[in-house]
Amino acid sequence: MSSVRCADCAEPLPLKRRLLGRKRCDTCETAHAAEQEAERQRLHREHEAAVAEYREVVGQLAPGVDLHRLARRVDAAREATPLQAEEVERLEAEALSELIELVKTDGVVSSAEDAFVAEAVKKLGLRWLPEQARGYQIAALESGFVMRDPSPAIVIKRGEVAHLHIAAERLELKVEHELRWQSAGGEVPVGQEGLRAVLEGGRGKLVETSRSMQAVDRGSLSVTSQRVVFAGTAEAQEFALGQLLGVRVFSNGLGLQIANRNEVPTFRTRPGDSQLAAATALTAAQRLVGTLPQPPAIPVPTAELGELPSLLKRSGFSEETTGPESQ
């Protein structure tokens, strides 16, 4: 019977090993585990090396580099890499984040830098992660850029520009009251029913027990060059940007501080959207009243692309045959 012998060395398998359902003797089992561990480590090192090599290619993305040449390198690297598509995307997103960091180092995004980032994303076929896009848009807004909403959620007037729209819920402050009954021993809550009858007796009193913001309507919040508009399923509200004094920003909501209004219209948004909408509204308002300086027109200096990354050298990639000159 073959099953009673070790699968590796063919020595008879001790009864205990057989009963445990093992196919190898103790010695071979230890050797086998060590081999497997070595193999696992080898695969890990190979993977790390592949990641490093891919980073070397996409890491060449920097302000001012020749995007045409880099796009060809990135295309070739996508072909040559053994990495999975998701990992390639992650490394490319990382490179885009690094580019954005470099663009933001001096505190402003110039129009030339903004154009370079847009061109890089297009030429290299990169994909914005939602969080990354928001971060960049906020940085660009702080430098005076406002985006254009390609598909506005509301009717736009003549001469008005739609900047963005986000999903939003209109919130209202709800104050909960509770009736407390004055008894000799102290206050006894008796619930919310039949308030009037007890109040007329003069021995109960209404006590405010909680305040909370509750959603009363759902729809979209749009920012244009002239207005902030909430278009809900129940009602619509419009606020002129000229009346906007400030925006209160929460992680998942915002409040509009409007001149001569004794409450702050408040909206719940998706996390992250609130910051972007607030920055857009404030930038648009500043542009409307003319207090925003023009975005700086500093050119992006040309930068060296660097030598051919090792992944491409090994894969026999040649840059000379179809350089930008041969177009």
Distance, CA of 132 to CA of 54 (rounded, Å): 21
Q: What is the per-residue binding string for Zn ion in 28-57, x denoting contact by CB under 5 A?
A: x-----------------------------
Q: How far does Cα 263 stand from its chain's mean position?
A: 31
6 contacts Zn ion (rule: CB under 5 A): yes
Which among 24-32, 38-46, 114-122, 125-133 is the span making contact with Zn ion, rule CB under 5 A? 24-32
Distance, CA of 271 to CA of 254 (rounded, Å): 11
Say if residue 73 is exposed, middle or buried (CB neighbours under 10 Å; 0-12, 13-18, 19+): buried
Neighbours of 268 (CB within 10 A): 20
**27/183 with CB nearer Zn ion:** 27
Distance, CA of 3 to CA of 26 (rounded, Å): 15
Distance, CA of 182 to CA of 203 (rounded, Å): 6
**23/218 with CB nearer Zn ion:** 23
**32/205 with CB nearer Zn ion:** 32
* Closest distance to Zn ion from the beta carbon of 34 (Å): 14
4 contacts Zn ion (rule: CB under 5 A): no
Which among 5-13, 49-57, 88-96, 184-192 is the span making contact with Zn ion, rule CB under 5 A? 5-13
**31/129 with CB nearer Zn ion:** 31
25 contacts Zn ion (rule: CB under 5 A): yes
Q: Which amino acid is at 126?
A: L
* Closest distance to Zn ion from the beta carbon of 37 (Å): 18
* Closest distance to Zn ion from the beta carbon of 10 (Å): 7
What is the DSSP code string of 199-263?
HHHTSEEEEEEEEEEEEEEEEEEEEESSEEEEEESS-EEEEEGGGEEEEEEETTEEEEEETT-SS
**6/100 with CB nearer Zn ion:** 6
Q: Which residues contact 67 (CB under 8 A, 6 or more apart)?
A: 119, 120, 123, 124
* Closest distance to Zn ion from the beta carbon of 41 (Å): 23
9 contacts Zn ion (rule: CB under 5 A): yes
- Residues in the site for Zn ion, rule: CB under 5 A? 6, 8-9, 25, 28
